[in-house]
Amino acid sequence: MTRNGHGSLQAGKTETFAAVAAKGSLSAVAQTKGIALAVIGRRFDALEERLGVKLLVLTPRKITLTFEGSAFLEDCPRIIEEMQNAEASVSAGGVKASGYLRVSAPAGFGRRHVVPLVPKFTARYPDVSVSLDLTDRMVDLVNEGFDCAVWLGELPDLSPVSLKLGENRRVLCVASPDYLASRGEPGDLAVLTHHNCLALGVSANQQRG
């Protein structure tokens, strides 16, 4: 949670409600806080919509708290204090990433792209220990105790949450001089369908980096 997060918005609405209840005027609170009166009104609408009840009865002459509004007002000081304490704890570094992180990545891809990131990660989160397992097989995250994995290619139907990091399309074609002399050198990938090819497929147990 941060001061710009969802919790701060809710705390701001609660503080505004408490201020209006104390002053008995939306315009007085708007002037005190330096906020447009329309903004104060929208905050109330959003707060009442979230709670599902009416908190205030607005008339041209005065503002009256409903029964639900009076009950909520009694809890406002506690709600505001708890929210402020939670935000202060996070802002002051009270919640830190720590522990042991085990990561799997394809051997070639991992050495080139993942390994250089590990020192940067540990420098930012010194209380986290990282174990990087470079392997071309698709590991079992749950049964083998991995926290996350970088995989290449199409993923099988698995339960872990996946996130596409980017494109990594590569084609490597190797032929002997004798073969090229007899069959000719292919000009593009489409021509390979007319050649004798030994293809290396990517399976669930073979994720090449």
Q: Does domain 6-91 have CATH number 3.40.50.2300?
A: no
Q: Tell which CATH classification among 3.40.50.12780, 3.40.50.2000, 3.40.190.10, 3.40.50.12280 matches the domain 99-149.
A: 3.40.190.10
- The answer for residues whose C-beta is within 8 angstroms of residue 152's C-beta and 6 or more apart is 106, 109, 168, 202, 207, 208, 209
The single-letter code of the amino acid at 86 is: A
Beta-carbon contacts of residue 84 (< 8 Å; ≥ 6 apart): 11
pLDDT in tens, 118-158: 999 999 888 889 999 999 888 888 788 888 898 887 766 55
- What is the average pLDDT across 84-90? 73
| Ranges of each domain in the chain | 6-91, 99-149
Residue 17's closest CA among 41, 53, 35?
Answer: 41
115: Cβ contacts below 8 Å, ≥ 6 apart: 132, 134
pLDDT in tens, 147-184: 889 888 776 655 557 777 777 777 778 888 888 888 88
Q: What are phi and psi of 165, to 5 degrees?
A: -90, -25
